[in-house]
Amino acid sequence: MRDDSIFSGVQLDAILDALPDPAFVLTRSGRYIAIFGGADVRYYHRSDSLIGQRIHDVLEKPKADWFVNEIAVALAEGGLHVVEYDLASSDVKGLDTNGPTETLRFEGRVQPLQFPVQGEDAVLWVASNITARSELECKLRTLSEVDPLSGLLNRRKLMHVLAEHYETFVRYGTPTSVLIFDIDHFKRVNDEHGHLCGDKVISATADVCRRELRATDAPARLGGDEFVVLMPHTSWDHAEPIAERLRARIAEALCALGEIGCQSTISGGLSEIAAGDTSGEDVLKRADDALYQAKRQGRNRIIRS
């Protein structure tokens, strides 16, 4: 408990205004009753003019509906309700330029008040700008999931996604095909032209994967010159023409690099998650075995297993 007697009314107002994050007193219907803090326009728009208005007067309907719903959830729960949300300039009606213009990410801490305000249930909504934290989390997630050279999924993320598709197959029988391939004569590229040229070959191959594969497919760089493509909701009968098109397009792209890629094609193995598999690694192993059959049969081909 604090002793209010040690502060004057003016001092209490100054303390509330000094809060780093804005705190809104909002009624169940979405009326702004009072606003404290959040005066730093680097992180927050000035909110003084909101008092007396309703959320639907200030925000576009979809966003306003969301806020009113979260107020209702907090009141129903009766305790602290924490949410995260984005707020863009396009969400706000008649926004002036006094404040940030980019889309902001917020954490809202919504606490029901124990007394009615102007005849309505009400909450205290504290909005913390977490944009920088969210961007950092996104960057860290990218670093942990994406191969830096190719820009495709890395091995760690690949195995996670493969495990998810295996579980979906076990539960619902949803097919997933797996293509694993590597670049023919890649060692020769590195030996004769250097590793920087080898990197160009890897990047060009990844570019073709992004361009030619479907949005639902998950291409990854397994390591070195080895790639994997997960094709969910796809049996190998439907996956085979996709794999063959990818083989042809990669050969064209590598040939376009000139001398460093003119002898480079891909060899691949294609398989599908099967009823007897005990994990996603089983299908990966079958596809890998088929890849080596493709190598033995002369390269520049896709073998199904």
Phi, psi angle pair for 271, to nearest 5°: -145, 175
DSSP secondary structure letters along 158-206: HHHHHHHHHHHHHHH---EEEEEEEETTHHHHHHHH-HHHHHHHHHHHH
Sheet holding 176-183, edge to edge: 218-223, 226-232, 176-183, 266-272, 302-304
Cα angle: 14, vertex 64, 103; to 5 degrees? 75
Here the tokens at position 125 are: 């909504």
207 is catalytic: no
Q: Which of 84, 90, 87 is nearest to 70 (CA)?
A: 84
Q: Name the active-site residue from 225, 237, 277, 288.
A: 225
Active site residue ranges: 225
